Amino acid sequence: MFKQARRIVFYLFLFALALSWALPVFWALAASLRPFQYPIARGNIWFSHTLTLANYAKTASLAPFGHYYLNTIIVVSLTLGVQVVTITMAAFAFVNYEFPGKKLLFYIVLLQMMIPTSALLVPNFATVRVLGLYNTRLAIAMPFFGSAFGTFLMRQAFLGVPRSLVAAGVLDGCSWWQLLVHVYLPPSLPTLTAFAISTISFHWNDFLWPLIITSSDHARPLTAGLVRFTQLGEIGAQWQLLTAATIMVAGPLFVLFLIFQRRFIQSFVQSGIK
């Protein structure tokens, strides 16, 4: 009896925790469906007497969301594609080869995980300006072509590959890239999938760096495009339009998670991410 009561209390706590996380999403949805003629006021912030999708239509007419989506997809795909190559090759080198300074170099890679992204904004901005890449999609993706977190994850996954398989591949005459593709990568796919999920989510939602490095809609992704909705009214943001735009930005990732949530969770569990 005591064990059952404890389980009920635990589930109630989890429900309350989940509700606290979901409450801002519910509020954003309520505000986005609120008719524009009913302003949000204290004590009256939830659904009004009528609901409308007019805010979404007006939001789509005020910003080139098609171009924003294209920029975001290109930036995320470019970043992830290059990262998959760099982190797998770096992890392969750390696991498969012995060379002077190997441990020191790996510690330097780990040290990069402790440096906040905001501390690198100025040097990254200066580098992009020198290269003449300001206000381009390449400039948004370039600072993230390498990933210390991804290198660490893949190194740990490669260390779990049985050495007997590696030795068998060497005896069969496999080159380095054949070892990487046919021996190391297949058992490490869950880890690579988990990293891909985390990096897609991060770069889809990244705001500060794209805002700094772009000056027009030509290269702006979705998050940087939201800035225009904070400057529509004379007294600040118009919350119905801003929340509608925010849901349009976050919606694709949310739908993607709902569709592939089981695969997402399995990837993180199998990769050992807690």
CATH of the domain at 247: 1.10.3720.10
**What does pTM read for this prediction?**
0.86
CB 76 within 8 A of CB 200: yes
How many CB atoms are located within 10 Å of the residue 108 CB? 11
Q: Name beta bridge partners: 233.
A: 236
Is 26 within the bounds of a domain? no
Is 4 within the bounds of a domain? no
Domain that holds residue 210: 51-271
* Domains of the chain: total: 1
**Alpha-carbon gap, residue 6 to 14, rounded angstroms:** 12
Is 159 within the bounds of a domain? yes
Is residue 94 very low, low, confident or very high in pLDDT (cuts 50, 70, 90)?
very high
> Residue 234 pLDDT more than 60?
no
Is 23 within the bounds of a domain? no
Q: Picking from 18-22, 82-86, 123-127, which range would have the lowest pLDDT averaged per residue?
A: 18-22
Is 184 within the bounds of a domain? yes
The contacts found for 197-200 with CB under 8 angstroms, 24 or more apart, are 197/264, 197/267, 197/268, 198/149, 199/79, 199/80, 199/83, 199/144, 199/147, 199/150, 200/76, 200/80, 200/253
* 83 vs 26, more confident: 83
Is 133 within the bounds of a domain? yes
pLDDT digits (tens, 9 = 90+) for 172-190: 888 889 999 999 999 999 8
State the pLDDT at residue 145: 95
The token duo for 141 is 């993706």
How many CB atoms are located within 10 Å of the residue 174 CB? 16
State the pLDDT at residue 23: 86
Is 232 within the bounds of a domain? yes
* 84 vs 241, more confident: 84
Q: Name beta bridge partners: 41.
A: 44
Burial of 121 (0-12, 13-18, 19+ CB in 10 A): middle
Is 225 within the bounds of a domain? yes
